Amino acid sequence: MTQQDVQWSTEINNRVDVRVARTRAAVLDAGARLLFTEGWHAVTHLRVAEEAGVGRATMYRHWPTVEDLLADVLVDCQEPWEAAEPTGDLRVDLITELDVFVGALQLSKLPEIIVAAMERAPTDPRIQAMHESMTRISRHPVWTVAQAPIERGELDPELTEEIVAAHTLGPILYQRLFDGQHVTRSDIERTVDAFLTAFAT
């Protein structure tokens, strides 16, 4: 990187230059659009610059490498995970959470993001970190719901966050990734019931 490290300091006095904000927004938006329509190999400086109506040089100023760009795009297009209100009924709450999960899988392009991140994760620590954070975020809701029943002894006390995730998110994700088909309400209920039957004490 011969060019000066941070000439446009992004924020001065805690204030972001309007132009910078505009550029970033346009680019990240265009990047996400390309990622979802053409796959992650379409996310290059050139393509995104064209798509965003932004100069190519500007791209390189903000994101020196493709990894910088892709990492930002991935972070940006992660929709916030709205936590559902727990009713106290474990079965109902699990179904609700998995419903949200499936919604995210279907509406947003989470599978594409997951795959893109997984592909790059081995080589890029930033994306690896993002992948881990995504994993954590996705399993947090079901773990939160399951935690109390475990402590109360209604569920197998051996259960860990990883195991709960594997047996609730796992089957759902498998169906979405490999069968491609829509994950239906009854798929969710079957998964939850199987989990409860197997791990209820």
User: Which residues are near DNA by CB under 7 A?
Assistant: 1-3, 7-10, 12-13, 15-20, 22-23, 44-46, 53-58, 60-62, 64-66
When CB distances are held under 5 to 8 angstroms depending on the partner's kind, the choice from DNA, a second copy, none that residue 123 binds is a second copy
Q: CB 150 → a second copy: shortest distance, Å?
A: 15
CB nearer to a second copy: give 67 or 76.
Answer: 67
Q: Which residues lie closer than 8 Å to 142 by C-beta, 6 or more apart? A: 94, 97, 98, 101, 164, 165, 168, 169
What number of other Cβ atoms are within 10 A of residue 118's Cβ?
A: 13
Q: How many angstroms separate the CA atoms of 106 and 93, rounded?
A: 20
Q: CB 88 → a second copy: shortest distance, Å?
A: 23
Q: Which of 74, 4, 3, 86 is nearest to 40 (CA)?
A: 74
Q: CB 85 → a second copy: shortest distance, Å?
A: 26
Q: CB 43 → DNA: shortest distance, Å?
A: 10
Q: At what angle do helices 161-174 and 185-199 cross, to 10 degrees?
A: 150
CB nearer to DNA: give 11 or 162.
Answer: 11
